[in-house]
Structure 1
Amino acid sequence: MNLAAYIDHTLLKPDCSEADIAQLCREAITHGFAAVCVPPNFVAQAAEQVKCSGVKVATVIGFPLGYNLSTAKMVEAFSAIEDGAHEMDMVMNISAFKSGAIDVVRNDIQAIFAICKAEDVVLKVIIETALLNQNEIKSICELCAEIEVDFVKTSTGFSHSGAVLEDVQLMRQVLPEHIQIKASGGIKTKAQAEAFIEAGASRLGCSSSLQLIR
């Protein structure tokens, strides 16, 4: 298994610097990671550094809490596309979902999906499984399937826990085959990474990517 091809090499720490992002991009090119996932303000830098390498540039929208207004998320999405992003990891409105405001959640996702689809940009919807029970995971996956997003992603990595194997297995059962899964948060070992892929994840968000491929 070429594990590197599954990995979004990720750096989203609030204190990351231009030099850190440059190093992230060099590592991604060297090892053939699928993408780098960087904060919105570093998309242009990353896009310039990885161009012609085959490495994609991903960024985050409404990160990490998700309750930003849809209009704010739309501005983030347009800016990311202008700066060269190929993929967007958008946090759903978890607060609205917990409040039963499903139309708000649906419209929020649809707004960003429409922007992405028009520009051939991949959308990954982060559902933050650590804050959801099994029925809620099933429900939001069904909604994402209805909208036909590209990926459903487990976690931001900023909540109290990250990806859980059983949650990924449930997501794979609920989602149609063409909608992919990204497992993210707390993946520290090669064995963990391989287990998540076996469970149905086709992308892994990792900040410890180098130790996974040794």
Structure 2
Amino acid sequence: MEIIPRIELTSLRPDSSEEEIRRLAMAAKELRLAALTVTPVWARFAGLALAQSPVRMGVVVGYPMGTHTPSVKGLEARLALEEGAAEVTLVPNLSAYKSGHRETFRQDVAYVLKQCRQANPEAQVKVLLYVDLLSLAEQREVVRIVQEGGGRFLLVGTFVPQPITPTMFRRLAEFAGPGCLLGAMGEIRSLEEAQALLALEAARLATPWGLEIAREAGGMLR
């Protein structure tokens, strides 16, 4: 299974500059990566930088905490999609879930998905789950609630930076079941780590080390 078309390059730092976004967009196009994901403030610029290429432009919504109100997340997603985003990565409200407000948690996911469908029915929406903040029983329940809210593409992630391990991925895949796409987002730093997740059929590998992994896999930049 080829790894480069599964790599999603991310630039989510608070100090990301215009020049960095331009450079990453050019590299993503040359390497033919799957996508470049940025914060919403860079959506328009990244979209223009990726124009006339197959590389998809994505944005994060509610990142990194997930504790924006649903209306704010929905607006954030709609505006980004109107500016050319093809993908949205949603951070759900785990605070609501941890407080026992399961329906609030479900509605948060469902509302943003609805806003995305209205803005662009073809948009791909991924839901990022911080598995380090959840017990295994909680992971199982959160996956079920996200799916009830319409989520069909989940990303394994961690809030505290640490490697995304095959064990983390395998567990969430078991909870998600067939018919649900699963990827990983965060601390994937090497080709070896990426290949371990790809072997488990990861649909997407979102990482700020995407260029390094692609080069290690044989991708060439002019």
Into which bin does the TM-score normalised by the smaller protein fall?
Answer: over 0.9
Distance 1:159 1:79 in 2: 29
- Matched residue SS, 1:188: coil
**How many residue pairs align between the two structures?**
213
Stretches of structure 1 that go unaligned for 5 or more consecutive residues are none
Q: Is the 8 A contact 2:132 2:159 kept in 1?
A: no
Distance 1:24 1:150 in 2: 28
Tell me what 2:23 maps to. Answer: 23
Tell me what 1:188 maps to. Answer: 189
Q: Is the 8 A contact 1:130 1:160 kept in 2?
A: no
Q: Which amino acid aligns with 2:68?
A: N
Length-normalised TM-score, structure 2: 0.91
- Matched residue SS, 1:199: coil
Shift of 1:158: 4.9
Distance 1:205 1:42 in 2: 17
Spell out the pairing of 1:154-165 with structure 2 (5 A cutoff).
154-155=156-157, 158-165=159-166
- Matched residue SS, 2:114: helix
* Structure 1 stretches of 4+ moved >3 Å: none
Shift of 1:52: 2.2
Distance 2:37 2:104 in 1: 27
Spell out the pairing of 1:45-194 with structure 2 (5 A cutoff).
45-118=45-118, 119=120, 120-155=122-157, 158-194=159-195
- Matched residue SS, 1:127: strand
C-alpha change, 1:134 and 1:158, in structure 2 (3 Å) is: closer
Q: Which amino acid aligns with 2:200?
A: A
Q: Which amino acid aligns with 1:210?
A: L
Higher relative contact order (CA 8 A, sep 6+): 2
Stretches of structure 2 that go unaligned for 5 or more consecutive residues are 217-222
Percent identical across equivalent pairs? 27
Shift of 1:160: 4.0
Q: Is the 8 A contact 1:90 1:126 kept in 2?
A: yes
What's the C-alpha RMSD, in Å, of the aligned pairs? 1.4
Q: Is the 8 A contact 2:74 2:116 kept in 1?
A: no
Distance 1:152 1:91 in 2: 10
Shift of 1:41: 0.6
Q: Which amino acid aligns with 1:197?
A: L
Tell me what 2:219 maps to. Answer: none
Q: Which amino acid aligns with 1:75?
A: L
Distance 2:171 2:201 in 1: 9
Length-normalised TM-score, structure 1: 0.94
Distance 1:162 1:129 in 2: 12
